[in-house]
Structure 1
Amino acid sequence: MPDQTHPPDDRRAPSERVVEAVATASGTSPLDFEPTLYDVVDPEALDALVRSGTENVRIQFRYGDRSVVVTGTGHVEVSASTEEIPSSEWLSPDE
């Protein structure tokens, strides 16, 4: 069961919503959360992929001690990380 679920918000970049959701799930301020998102994934690439218009995209990665899933619709889901999840996984509908 996810700790945090954030629906799409067209006013904020998906990468910003990821940082906020993970920090909230971890009980930390987004400004103080470590590691930075830049240490885990390329935020600009994440934003571009989500905003590409491909709704079937699903991006899954570990961020801190959490598992993050971002969909092509901009939905962000954060849950406790498991060792079964690779450090990053970028899926497109063609795979």
Structure 2
Amino acid sequence: MKTTQSPGTHSTNAHSENTQVYCFEHEPDAEQTLTVSIARAIAAVTGTEPGSFRPRLYDVLDTEALEQLIRRSREAGSQVKVSFEIADLFITINGNSRILIQMPSTS
């Protein structure tokens, strides 16, 4: 997983206030699953250890279904976008395995 964009303050349609937006790339051919990439991305933006953030991903959504949906979309060459909220984070996963995390700006 790699960060493809530096964090910055952006006005978004998802939320009316300013948010910090972080962008990560999941590498589908890597041994790391998409779920692990999402957990590590959350850890990176929240300053927590992977797996220690609560609620856990699998408490909020069906991680196996998400993995299958994104994988099948990528294989079919279609673009799917899945968004969900966890705590104060708004997370979007694109069919190209890009992970976008929006969190309220602290300023």
TM-score bracket for this pair, using the shorter chain length = 0.7 to 0.9
Rounded to whole Å, the distance in 2 between the matches of 1:66 and 1:3 is 10
**Corresponding residue for 1:18?**
38
Q: Which has the larger radius of gyration?
A: 2
**Corresponding residue for 1:73?**
96
Deviation at 1:18, TM superposition (A): 1.1
**Corresponding residue for 2:53?**
33
How many residue pairs match? The answer is 81
Rounded to whole Å, the distance in 1 between the matches of 2:52 and 2:45 is 13
Deviation at 1:64, TM superposition (A): 2.0
Unaligned runs of 5+ in 2: 1-9, 11-19
Deviation at 1:3, TM superposition (A): 3.4
Rounded to whole Å, the distance in 2 between the matches of 1:31 and 1:8 is 17
When normalised by structure 1's length, the TM-score is 0.76
Identity of aligned residues (%): 26
Q: Is the contact made by 1:3 and 1:25 (CA closer than 8 Å) also made in structure 2?
A: no
- Structure with more of its chain in strand, by fraction: 2
Deviations 1:2-51 (A, max 9, x none): 53211131212211111111121111111211111111111111100110
Aligned with 1:51: secondary structure? helix
Unaligned runs of 5+ in 1: 82-95
When normalised by structure 2's length, the TM-score is 0.68
* Bigger RCO of structures 1 and 2 (CA < 8 A, at least 6 apart): 1
**Corresponding residue for 2:3?**
none
Q: What amino acid sits opposite 1:8 in the alignment?
A: H
Of 6, 16, 24, the residue aligned with 1:6 is 24
